[in-house]
A = this chain, B = another copy of it.
């Protein structure tokens, strides 16, 4: 297990106490990388108090302005979600998710996203995820405290790391596209879809979400990503009338 490749990412936590409790949770489970996206109270005495000996995790915590910043370089992103979504990527339990994350983290950085105390992750943030992770909680009261969710997920990651998991059979000789590669692709794709009048500029999100789900599920590798970007670039040239014959791959 490579703890430095497992980013536990808290998105806009309100309470310093929760950041501290999360730090303690991840340290007890042998992880060491806490990432914070726009935390409201950090650094904060409550965080230090609740960390209770895990203050080295707080000292090393990386603070980001945006979620995209926190995800740079990651190739597998999962998000904790309490609600059932109508339109969503695959949903799995922590137990199903952890071995996959651990196997991927042997090679490359992965991220686990935890949302805000009251409202969780936004749809836009969930769109960054390859999979949603749902702790199979009591349907009548599914509201785990953030640090409790971090504890459960970190526990499953530790159990998976201890289980001597055989790494997932690599489907490709190429590394997967990174989260930032994917964002650049989606931006490019949206531009082209608007030019060919396929995307309703008044409501781009419905279609883009469907496409994100589709390409997120496929998890293109680096080479496939280059092909997809190449296709988009050539479509643009075709529309511009600037295609040179003899191009190609």
Q: Which residues of A contact B (CB under 8 A)?
A: 21, 24-25, 27-30, 52-54, 84, 88, 90-91, 93, 95-96, 135-138, 141-145, 147-148, 151-152, 155, 158-159, 162, 167, 170-171, 193, 195-200, 206-207, 210-211, 214-215, 217-220, 223-224, 227, 230-231, 234-235, 237-239, 243-249
Are the C-beta atoms of A247 and B197 separated by less than 8 Å?
A: yes
A148 partner residues in chain B, CB cutoff 8 A: 21, 24-25, 28, 147-148, 151
**A145: B residues at CB distance < 8 A:** 21, 24-25, 52
Can you list 8 A-B contacts (CB < 8 A)? Answer: A28-B142, A30-B137, A30-B138, A95-B159, A151-B152, A197-B234, A197-B244, A207-B227
B27 near A237 (CB under 8 angstroms)?
A: no
- Nearest B-chain residue to A214, judged by Cβ: B224
A227: which of B171, B211, B246 is its contact (CB, 8 Å)?
A: B211
Nearest-neighbor residue (CB-CB) of A165 within chain B? B136
Residue of B nearest to A225 (CB): B214
Residues of B within 8 A of A138 (CB): 27-30, 158
Bound CA–CA A147/B24 (angstroms): 12
Contact residues in B for A217 (Cβ distance below 8 Å): 171, 218-219
**Other-chain contact of A198, B25, B159, B247 (Cβ < 8 Å):** B247
User: Is B158's CB under 8 angstroms from A238's CB?
Assistant: no
A193-B231 Cα distance, complex, nearest whole Å = 7
| B28 A143 Cβ-Cβ under 8 A | yes
* Chain B residue contacts of A244, Cβ below 8 A: 197
Q: Which residues on the B side are within 8 Å of A206 (C-beta)?
A: 249
